Structure 1
C-alpha cells in the first residue's frame, strides 16, 4: 500500500516552518481588501517599527508546543503594553488544534492567564482556536478581520 492510500487522497501533510522574516499578503474579505503583514517570532526586536501602521493585531500561538508558552506570553505582554497599540484590537489565535498533542483552549487560557491579561489590557482582546492546516476556525478569523479592520472596499 502506498503512502497516499494509507493517508487518504492528499498524502502526507508537508512540514511547516515558523515564519522567518516578514511577509505581506492581501486578503479580500466581503469585498474589503485587507493587507496582512506577517512577522515571525524571531523578528520580535523589529516589531515596534511596524506598530504605528497597525489597525489590528493577530497574535498566533502554537497550541501544540508547550515549550514555547513562556516566551509567547512574554512577547504578547510586550506588544500589549506598547503605547502605539493601546487602541488596537487584538486577536489571539491558538493554532494547530488539529494535532492530538495540542492543548485545549481552557489549558491555554490558564497557562497564559488570559482572563487576567484581558482584564488589565487597554485593548479589546478576542481569542480563537484555529487550525491553519484543516481550516478550523478560519471563518471566525475572517469575520473578526472584517469587523475590526478598516480595509478598503472594492468596487
Structure 2
C-alpha cells in the first residue's frame, strides 16, 4: 500500500482525485476541470484501480509531518509530492524527503518523487530541482529504489506516468 506524503498545499488530494477520475473513464476522455479540494487534516484513504486491482493510498496531511514516522511500518511504497511552483517551500520539502528516506522502516520501500504544478507560471525546472535537492547524490546513496517524475495534477500532465509507477510498485 502506498503512503502519500508532502508539505501542505503541494497537491496530494488533487492528485488522488485526478487518478481516481482517470480510472473511472476510458483513456480517451478529457479530465475536465479540477475538483475543489481542502487541505487534508489527518489522513485520507483513497482507492485507485491499478491494473484491474484496487490499491488503497493513505494520504497524510502536510501538517501531520511530525507523526508521519508512526505510519511507516505499514507501507512498502511512498509517493512524495513537491510543489515545483513554490520556491519558498523547496528547502523544507528537501528536509522532509531526507527524513523519509532515512527512516529505517522505509529502507526497502519503493519511492516516487513527484514535482507537481509544472503547469503554473515560473515553476522551478526539473534540472534546477535536481540540483537544489542534490537528487543525484540522494538517489545514489539511498537504499530505496527512487523514481522522479514531473506532473500537474491540475492539467493531468504526467498522471498516466504516476499510474504506471503505481502498477510497478504493486508488483514488488
Q: Could you say whether these structures have the same fold, taking a TM-score greater than 0.5 normalized by the shorter chain as the test?
A: yes
| Structure 2 residue 56 is matched with structure 1 residue 35 | yes
| Structure 2 residue 152 is matched with structure 1 residue 131 | yes
Gaps of 5+ in 2: 1-31
Decide whether aligned partners of structure 1 residues 117 and 32 sit closer, same or farther in structure 2, where only a CA change above 3 A counts. same
**Aligned match of 1:147:** 168
* C-alpha displacement of 1:20: 2.8
* C-alpha displacement of 1:21: 2.1
Q: CA RMSD in A?
A: 1.9
> Is this contact kept in 2: 1:90–1:125, CA < 8 A?
yes
> Is this contact kept in 2: 1:92–1:126, CA < 8 A?
yes
**Aligned match of 2:108:** 87
Decide whether aligned partners of structure 1 residues 83 and 66 sit closer, same or farther in structure 2, where only a CA change above 3 A counts. same
**TM-score, scaled to structure 2:** 0.76
**Aligned match of 2:143:** 122
For 2:146 and 2:69, locate their aligned partners in 1 and report how far apart those are by CA, in whole Å.
Answer: 19
* C-alpha displacement of 1:33: 1.0
Q: State the number of aligned residues.
A: 141
For 1:53-68, what aligned pairs fall within 5 Å after superposition? 53-68=74-89
For 1:148 and 1:26, locate their aligned partners in 2 and report how far apart those are by CA, in whole Å.
Answer: 15
**Aligned match of 2:121:** 100
Gaps of 5+ in 1: 1-9
Larger radius of gyration: 1
Decide whether aligned partners of structure 1 residues 112 and 15 sit closer, same or farther in structure 2, where only a CA change above 3 A counts. farther
**TM-score, scaled to structure 1:** 0.85
For 2:35 and 2:88, locate their aligned partners in 1 and report how far apart those are by CA, in whole Å.
Answer: 22
* C-alpha displacement of 1:19: 3.2
For 1:74 and 1:17, locate their aligned partners in 2 and report how far apart those are by CA, in whole Å.
Answer: 24
> Is this contact kept in 2: 1:96–1:132, CA < 8 A?
yes
For 1:15 and 1:23, locate their aligned partners in 2 and report how far apart those are by CA, in whole Å.
Answer: 16
For 1:57 and 1:143, locate their aligned partners in 2 and report how far apart those are by CA, in whole Å.
Answer: 14
